[in-house]
Each structure stands twice: as C-alpha cells, then as structure tokens.
Amino acid sequence: MKKPKRAGAAKAKKGRKTSAGRPKAAPKRLTRRSARPPTRGASGDDGAKDAVRTTIRGLRTKLKEAQRRVAELEAAADTDFLLDIPNRRGFERELGRAIAYMKRYRASGALIVLDVDRLKPINDSFGHGAGDEVLKAIAATLTRQVRASDVVGRLGGDEFALLLWNLSETDAKAKAVAFEQAVDELSFVFRGQPVNAGASAGVALLGAQSDAGRALEEADAAMYVRKAQRRHEPRIRLFGS
C-alpha cells in the first residue's frame, strides 16, 4: 500500500519542478501609438476652420462695403448735387488730368468758360426754383453738344466750364459761339411770362505747356470780354416785350 503513495509524491514533485522552471511571461510594453496623449477629434478641427473662414468672409464683405461707400462719398464730393455734373473740384481734377495727358502725349484741347447772362434777374423775379430750372436746361443743352470724351462742369453759381479735346483755336471759338446760341435759344415760362436766358463764353487753348490754374484765369478773362461785347449786341430781353 505504500508504493502508490511514493508514486504520487514523485509525480507531484515533478509537477512542482516543471511549474517552477517555466519562465514567466514578460509584461507587455506600451507602444508609441498608445503612449500619445489624447488629441481633439477631427470634427472639432473642422469646426474651428469653418469659424475662421466665416469670419474672413464677413470681414471681406465689410471691407468691400466700406470701399464702395468711400467711392460714393468721393464721387459726391466732386459732383454738383443739382445738375449731376462735375462741380469746381471735380472739373479742376479732370482738367489737371487732361493737361498731364497732353504733356505726355503732345495732345491738345480747349477750355471754355461760359457764364449765364441773366440768371440773377430770373432768381430775383421768379425765385431760385426758376433759376434752378434754367441751370438744369443749360447743363442738359451743353452736355448734348459735346462728345463723350469731353467734360461739362459747373464752377459755381451761374458759371460753367467745358473741357474739349483736339480742337484748333478756330474750332474752339466757333464752338463757344455755338454754345452761346444754344443757350440764347432756350425759352421758359414762369408765372405766365416768357423768359429767356443768355450766355457769354471765353476760350483758352490747352496743350503741353498749359497750367490748369492759368488756363481757367485766361478763359474767365476772355469770357468777361465777351460779356462786355454782348451788351452791345441785339438780343432777347429778360421778359418778352
């Protein structure tokens, strides 16, 4: 009966040796990927980028609107609000540009200053509304008689200026007379009374040696000489009589 015990004890001892001699498994090492800290998800990055793009689009829209508004204000500053043609500031700017072009390319032109002869009596007799109507009709008449490249402006009050390209002295003076006649032929009726205005025009030639300020003074002086001449010419009176 003792032999089975020794066999069992030997088997148990063998099992203990086997388990003791077996090497233990090494612990798993953390890989580089698993060692990285957690990052924000892709959806979060896309949301931030979309927000930036939206902000940029909004700023660009505001910038375009501001630039448009600045352009409108600049145009308004150079335009006569009543007649919708360049005012003195706008006309002098166009005249300066034209002379700079003439100096560079040896071009030529003419400057005509035209003064409405009887605007003050019309204002005094029928009010400034009637005078405004006369000025609008004169501006429209002058604009119809020039080319698209020419410029019609209002220097102020009852004084207009015209910048005409590529005209000889003879042609420029003939054009000034044509403007006078066109204004003379305008007729109005205020408070049942027929009314006619008139105009006197002076000419200054433009070229590579011209100066804007001097040209305006020259044309203005010629206009006053012409106005004095017209006082002795037969013409239609303020009131038809």
**Catalytic residues, which ones?**
158
- CA end-to-end span of the chain, whole Å? 166
Q: Which helix (H) or strand (E) holds 205?
A: strand 199-206
Q: What is the largest CA-CA distance in the chain?
A: 167
Looking at the DSSP bridge assignments, the partners of residue 201 are: 114
> Measuring CA to CA, how many Å separate 140 from each of 78, 83, 152, 155?
18, 9, 10, 16
Side chain identity at residue 223, one-letter code = M
80-105 b/e with 16+ CB inside 10 Å = b?
Answer: beebebbbbebbbebbeebbeebeee
| Per-residue three-class SS string for 34-60 | HHCCCCCCHHHHHHHHHHHHHHHHHHH
Q: Residue 109 in 3-state DSSP?
A: strand
Around Cβ 142, how many Cβ atoms within 10 Å?
24
Side chain identity at residue 1, one-letter code = M
